[in-house]
């Protein structure tokens, strides 16, 4: 990631939003609606008599969206245009229906933080967040923490510790902070806490100052 174009703790104010906020744009509204469908599909009665009609309608929407899609190579160039924050990642991306999406702000102690409530699509053990989903969110948050810290890179190693089950349906505070940069090695930590401050999952990440080039 080229962090030259990213806000950092050195250049920007406490509370700067670091992720791409959902906008009043048709694609953001459509993605938010798709997110509702994903969640409701898991909650609806399995015997819902209209599920075949729902399948037909969703396939027809997918057909329409695909008919208006450029080639993937072309779309990738568009997706990665500019140097700023992208809008499509699976954690914070307002254009990705898989993303909760988490919104992160940079704090003046060098950390980044956001609050998110996860629902049934993210379930692992009964009523709890999937351990792999916690790892997905934390990996992404460490990446954003690195950009805010001023030096970003690619994940080389992630050490995730699970302290207690992480609840669904409750606000979770997700934090990440860059701890040190030694040459090309970047050390970053993070955690997921409940509203009462209990640490459910913590992570230590090693990142390497490298990047896959943006397609042009």
b/e 190-203 (16+ beta carbons within 10 angstroms → b) = bbbbeeeeeebbbb
Out of 72, 82, 182, 197, the only residue in the binding site for a copy of itself (CB under 8 A) is 72
> What is the distance between the alpha carbons of residues 34 and 52, in angstroms, rounded to a whole number?
17
Out of 16, 115, 165, 199, the only residue in the binding site for a copy of itself (CB under 8 A) is 165
Out of 31, 92, 111, 113, the only residue in the binding site for a copy of itself (CB under 8 A) is 31
Out of 14, 64, 184, 185, the only residue in the binding site for a copy of itself (CB under 8 A) is 64
User: Residue 154, interface with a copy of itself (CB under 8 A)?
Assistant: yes
User: Residue 194, interface with a copy of itself (CB under 8 A)?
Assistant: no
Dihedral sign for Cα atoms in the order 83, 89, 93, 95 = positive
Cα–Cα distances in angstroms (integers) from residue 138 to residues 19, 41, 171, 178, 191, in the given order: 14, 26, 15, 13, 7
* In the complex, least distance from residue 192 CB atom to a copy of itself, rounded to whole angstroms: 13
> What is the distance between the alpha carbons of residues 204 and 201, in angstroms, rounded to a whole number?
11
Beta strand extents in 75-184 (DSSP E only): 105-106, 111-117, 154-162, 171-182
User: Residue 191, interface with a copy of itself (CB under 8 A)?
Assistant: no
Cβ-proximal residues to 36 (8 Å cutoff; 6+ apart), any chain = none
In the bound state with a copy of itself, the residue whose beta carbon lies nearer, of 94 and 106, is: 94
Out of 13, 21, 37, 179, the only residue in the binding site for a copy of itself (CB under 8 A) is 37
Choose the binding region for a copy of itself from 3-11, 128-136, 172-180, 189-197 (rule: CB under 8 A): 128-136
User: Residue 84, interface with a copy of itself (CB under 8 A)?
Assistant: no
In the bound state with a copy of itself, the residue whose beta carbon lies nearer, of 130 and 187, is: 130
User: Residue 158, interface with a copy of itself (CB under 8 A)?
Assistant: yes
> What is the distance between the alpha carbons of residues 88 and 47, in angstroms, rounded to a whole number?
34
């Amino acid at each position: 990631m080229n962090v030259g174009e990213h806000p950092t703790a050195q250049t920007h104010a406490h509370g700067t939003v670091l992720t791409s906020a959902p906008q009043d744009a048709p694609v953001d509204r459509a993605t938010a609606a798709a997110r509702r469908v994903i969640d409701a599909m898991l909650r609806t009665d399995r015997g819902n008599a209209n599920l075949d009609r729902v399948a037909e309608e969703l396939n027809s929407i997918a057909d329409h969206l695909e008919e208006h899609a450029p080639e993937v190579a072309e779309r990738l160039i568009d997706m990665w245009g500019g140097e700023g924050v992208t809008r499509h990642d699976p954690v914070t991306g307002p254009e990705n229906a898989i993303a909760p999406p988490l919104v992160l702000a940079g704090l003046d102690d060098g950390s980044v933080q956001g609050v998110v409530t996860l629902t049934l699509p993210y379930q692992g053990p009964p009523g709890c967040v999937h351990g792999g989903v916690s790892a997905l969110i934390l990996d992404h948050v460490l990446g954003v923490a690195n950009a805010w810290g001023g030096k970003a890179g690619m994940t080389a190693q992630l050490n995730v510790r699970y302290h207690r089950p992480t609840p669904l349906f409750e606000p979770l505070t997700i934090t990440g902070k860059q701890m040190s940069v030694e040459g090309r090695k970047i050390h970053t930590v993070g955690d997921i806490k409940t509203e009462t401050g209990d640490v459910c999952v913590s992570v230590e990440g090693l990142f390497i100052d490298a990047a896959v080039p943006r397609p042009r």
